[in-house]
Every structure is written in C-alpha cells, then in structure tokens.
Amino acid sequence: MKIALVGATGLVGSVMLKVLEERNFPVTELLPVASEKSVGKEIEFKGKKYKVVSMTDAIAQKPAIALFSAGGGTSLEWAPKFAEVGTTVIDNSSAWRMDPTKKLVVPEINAHVLSKDDKIIANPNCSTIQMVLALNPLHKKYGIKRIVVSTYQSVTGTGLKAVKQLMQERKNELVKQLQNEKVIPVGEDLAGEIDMAYPYPIDLNVLPHIDVFLENGYTKEEMKMVNETKKIMGDNTIRVTATTVRIPVMGGHSESVNVEFAKDFDLAEVRTILENAPGVIVKDDVKNLQYPMPLLDAHNRDEVFVGRIRRDESQPNTLNMWIVADNLRKGAATNAVQIAECLANNKLV
C-alpha cells in the first residue's frame, strides 16, 4: 500500500503520520509531499527517514491513496491530477466537501457510501465531525429538527502560525511583567515581534471570527457546519445555525449544542444511546464536577467526549449538551486515516 501524504510537514500532516503509525496502517511505501521549498527535507515514520518529494514526483509513482492536508487551493489543483493516475485522494480541505459529485465521510456514520469509483473523498470540517458523531445516533432515534451550536475552537485549528502567535504573545506578556517587577532590566528587547495569524491578539482574548465573513453575515466556518451536517447525516430538513469562536486554548475544540427533536426523549435513554455510540465517550457527572475538557480529556485522543447532558427547560423536545474533541485527530487526521482503512478493508483501492 503506497501512500502519499501531501502537507507532510504541516501541523495536521505530522499528526496524520502519528495516527498512521499508531493504527498500524499497512503502509508499504511512504511518499511525504510538501511545497517546493521543503523538497529534500527528511521526516521520520516508524523509525525510518523519508525524503520529502514534489507533487509531480509523487504522482509519477502512482500511490494507492493520497492523504491531502495542504489547503483548498492546493487540493483543487493537484487532487484531480492524482485521481487521473488512479490514486484515491482523501482531502482534508474544504475544496470538495460540498461538491455534489464527491462523498463527505465520517466513517462511523456513512462509510457505506464509499465505492471504488470515488477518487476524491472529502474529509469534513473538524467542528462538524465531532458534532455529527454525537448527534447522528440521537437523530436516528428521535429525529433532529433544529441545531443551535456555538463553538470554542483551539488555535491549533488555524495552524502552526496561530500556535506561535499565542505562545509569542504569552511570552511577551511575561517579559513585560518581569520588567515591571524589575526582575529583568526595562528596555531589554527580549520579547520580539509577533507574526500575526489573526487580525487581533488571541491570548486572553476571544475572536468571534473563524474564516472569512460571507454576505449573509456568517463566517465560512459557520456555514460549513450548516451545510456539511445536512450532507453527512443525509437529511436536508435539519435546520442548523452556528456561531464559531476562536479561543486561546490547546488540546481541541469544544461546542455548546442545543438540539430540538421531533419526538420527546428520556434523558437516561439519551445517555445510553451516546454510551453505545462508536467513537463517543460520555463524561457527565456534574455532582462530582465531571465534564469534558479539551486539554484534560480530548488532547491526543480519537474519541469525541460528551457531557453537560440536560433538558432545555425553555421548550419541549430539546436537549443541551457539551461536545469536545481533539481537532487535529478525530477532527482531521484520524478521520482521514479511518476513511483510508475503510477503503483498504473493503478492497476499494
């Protein structure tokens, strides 16, 4: 199984390598691919060093699967070229998600839609994946009418530059504090200039702005959640409204979800359904202050954690819940590798 990993030197690419190794995916040959400036650099996989190659070199070697995590523009340009030589592309960008000719897959929900003819498969948005994984089994039982979701998303969702901005801001604040306390001399240039990934500071701040704003006043990230949810769950009647927010957090994304069902529900039954859902862990014991958190629960885990499960007392048939997951793993890398496993296990590549 010859595998190309496009974007191998990026944040998600590095996690994909880790997940491929952890899950013992049957890689017989790895082709790490990155931008021209990274060609020739070495990465390590399963104790062996591999040199980064160019797109054209990787295509010439006709890999069975290409895992893409290099941005929408790169995917639009290069994914079809891999597909032309028979490679199945699993793309982590937004480029192909809403293309009606492409499958948008969360394996626990809709792996059955995959076929040998699918040469470009879309990996959903990170915040959508964790929400639908928790909501789909409840939709099957009670029928979802409407979802209201507010997200609390980690800087890791933006990438390495955003992580560096947060850490540099934090360092600069510490330098200023130490100078004010005369621990280090005032005037010493120890902080350094910050390379901004965001239009405003992120440390000690909240940005109600992820991706670009659209004409309807929503951001592209918010509309991704609206449209992708319907496509993955195969139900265009579900109404979804989202507010997506960036916060100075590591470890994963969190979501406050309010969901209205067509039928009434029993809270104990809801918990049982979620406990039995593949890929979901219920952590919900408020008497003992047990609820999911990104850093302490989701970080470096593949599961989606659900807590704060409670009835919305303001209207009938409505549930509140808190959903947390590592956006780099189940929200990106792990879901892509799981799609690759479905293709391999079912001899679709």
Active-site annotation holder among 139, 209, 253, 299: 253
Sequence-distant (6+) residues with CB within 8 A of 303 are 279, 280, 281, 325, 330
Q: Which two tokens stand for residue 153?
A: 């998303």
Handedness of CA 300, 304, 309, 314 (dihedral sign): positive
Q: Are 274 and 323 in contact (CB under 8 A)?
A: no
Strands 253-261 and 280-282, how do they pair? Answer: unpaired
CA distance 34 to 48: 18
Q: Are 341 and 302 in contact (CB under 8 A)?
A: no
CA distance 75 to 91: 7
The alpha carbon of 187 is separated from its chain's Cα centroid by a whole number of angstroms, namely 42
DSSP single-letter state for residue 112: G
Task: Indicate the SS3 state at residue 275.
Answer: helix
Q: Is 126 a catalytic residue?
A: yes
- H-type helices in the chain, by residue range? 11-22, 55-60, 72-84, 107-110, 126-142, 160-180, 220-233, 267-275, 334-345
Active-site annotation holder among 112, 126, 209, 299: 126
CA distance 98 to 244: 19
Active site residue ranges:
126, 253
